[in-house]
Amino acid sequence: MSRFLGIRRILVPVDFSDAARPVVDYARDMARDRGAVLTLLHVIGIPVAPFDPAYGVAADPRMLLELQSGAERKLAEMAGAIEGVEVRIRVATGAPSREIVREAREWKADLIVIGTHGRTGLRHVFLGSVAENVVRLAPCPVTTMRLEGFAIESV
């Protein structure tokens, strides 16, 4: 049996943008077709330490708790709208690509489905690419969806 046919756990990083909806829908359909479990993961991309010079600001623990509870509510709403699929929700704090890969390893995900904004040139160099880092570091196959035009690519 190929690894693709043995997909039982699908991880979907969610940033709550409108463009992320097609990614969730695609992963939902894939999970439904395979009887897989879907995990919706949101990463709060702010420092974990009380002060991180890279950000230049102090991370207020109350702010982190508010962000986490807000993300959990949004994920619960998304999960509640998904029928016919078992859905888990997770919220992590840290560098998005690192947290996505960590969750995939810990949960033993069989596939990650992630959106990409398709940045090129200087925007890509300066902003980096969460999806690109996930593809390079993931412990499992990654399907990327370019959010501009919704082209699907499997890696």
> How far, in Å, are 22, 58, 141 from residue 25 at the CA level?
5, 37, 18
Q: What is the mean pLDDT of residues 49-57?
A: 51
Q: How do strand 142-146 and strand 152-154 relate by DSSP bridges? A: antiparallel
Residue showing tokens 């995939």: 104
pLDDT tens sequence across 63-90: 888 989 999 999 999 999 999 999 999 9
Domains (range + CATH), the chain: 9-154 (3.40.50.620)
Residue 57 gets which letter from DSSP?
Answer: E
Average pLDDT taken over every residue of the chain: 82
- 149 pLDDT more than 90: no
Task: Give the span between the Cα atoms of 29 and 35, in whole angstroms.
Answer: 10
pLDDT of residue 58: 54
pTM here?
A: 0.81
Q: Which amino acid is at 53?
A: P
